[in-house]
Chain A
Amino acid sequence: MFNTLRTLLLTALHAFHRRATVQYPEQQPYLPPRYRGRIVLSRDPDGEERCVACNLCAVACPVDCISLQKTETDGRWRPEYFRINFSRCIFCGFCEEACPTYAIQLTPDFEMGEYARPNLVYEKEDLLISGTGKYPDYSFYNVAGIPIPGKERGASERERPPIDLHSLLP
């Protein structure tokens, strides 16, 4: 009897508690920077696409929602097309972990509702952003030992010039 009345009182007192609800569309929830939302393709500081079409993201993807085709221009690998089917994507972030060039990144944005399913298939133009994303200074071709136009072999950061095997100099 006393317990019941106490329960009633405690419940009634909850009228003066703060409400836990976040009134979503008007009141945006805080999303941490590493929130796993919409996937983007970032560019390096020079404005070139970071993606080198290595297919590791597509391999890592547990639901096979990433599809891409490699093409090559001037020794640089690029995706000819890069397609993510967001109606399949489970936002696990494995693609981001697999990416060797920090190209594919997940962002704190989840508002991607569509009325038709095909609209959830994002092409490369939809995925590419103009900035560098979470890694502002990273440029894959600056640290990789691959020669590209404007950068000879051995000109990368922390890379020595290649050893000339035919020279006798020490």
Chain B
Amino acid sequence: MTSSALLTIILTPLLLLALATLLTWVERRLLGLWQDRHGPNRVGPGGMFQAVADGIKILFKQDWIPPFADRDVFILAPAIGMMTALLSFAVIPITMGTGIAGDLNVGLLFILAMMGLGVYAVVLAGWSSNSKFALLGGMRAAAQMISYEVFMGLALLGVVMMAGSFSLHDIVTAQAGLWFIIPQCLGFGVFLLAGIAETHRLPFDLPEGENELGAGFHTEYSGMKFGMFFIAEYAGIVLVSSLVTTLYLGGWRGPLLPPAVWFLLKTGGMVAFFILLRASLPRPRYDQLMALGWKVLLPLSLLNVMATGTILMLRASL
């Protein structure tokens, strides 16, 4: 392993953490914009250092572990959330040949696996907190994330079939002519919804559900442990956004501008869309969420897989 690779490994998580922290400010500013107000605009240029101020504040908060909690698991849970979110970035190709793990030939599967592991963070947090609200949140998170993971994988199957590879590089390369959002529009929609549910962002933030569950699975968390859940959520948004960019929006491809800029632009747009969702949509009821998942999105993703397969077979036989 060269020293430059080591440097990348050390720098990337730091950069991601900084980015996720900054995203808290971006989100508040954008929410303000869409709600006809300003949002934090006092600290630093445009309020940019608000995130730093918040970070410093949360670092100095008491890190309280409730005496009734399962201590070890309680500490482990946010770490899992953070770790899986950051590990997934290892295979995201920002441009041709970049990415920590390089061109992993099962990149997509790796990300799905990491997302699957990410469920443990919320479930264990809900379980180890040993309190009603946290447990309810954890249960919801488990049901929601596991069921949405099913057709997230199925939706991705269309992309994989068209590209003929699990490697994210190959998938982007396969979009040279046409972005997959056109032929895979159904899969795109399903993946997007599943992605929102996966990061448990509004409108699918039922595991947290402030109005019903206090704060859901992280009710009992305080200080930087809560901060880790928080930052992991934002890292999750960036992850899903960059995944959508890579899989459906042609990754780093685009005219004129350098590839990295295109990737960042598209990802940024997706992040903004995530925030727009939060700004505008109300949270569905829990049974509506599950019904949407199993009765609408699952058949749709299966249909997508079938149609894609049929068309590819027909094209191959011609």
Contacts and interface: CB of A to CB of B under 8 A. Distances in A.
Interface of A: 4, 7-8, 10-12, 14-15, 17-21, 23
Given A7-B280, A20-B36, A20-B37, 6 more contacts: A8-B276, A8-B277, A12-B276, A18-B36, A19-B32, A21-B36
22 contacts: A4-B281, A7-B280, A8-B276, A8-B277, A8-B280, A8-B281, A11-B34, A11-B276, A12-B34, A12-B280, A14-B34, A14-B35, A15-B34, A18-B36, A19-B32, A19-B36, A20-B36, A20-B37, A21-B36, A21-B37, A21-B38, A23-B38
Contacts of A7: 280-281
A19 B276 contact: no
Interface residues on B, range: 10 to 19
Contacts of A14: 33-36
A10 B32 CA distance: 15
A12 B276 CA distance: 7
Nearest to A7: B280
A15 B280 contact: no
Contacts of B33: 14-15
B112 interface: no
Interface of B: 32-38, 276-277, 279-281
Contacts of B38: 19, 21, 23
- In the A-B complex, the 3 residue pairs with the smallest Cβ-Cβ separation, listed nearest first, are A11-B280, A21-B37, A14-B34
Nearest to B282: A7
A1 to B, nearest CB: 10
A19 B37 contact: yes
Nearest to A11: B280
A138 to B, nearest CB: 44
B186 to A, nearest CB: 13
A10 B280 CA distance: 8
Contacts of A11: 34, 276, 279-280
B277 to A, nearest CB: 7
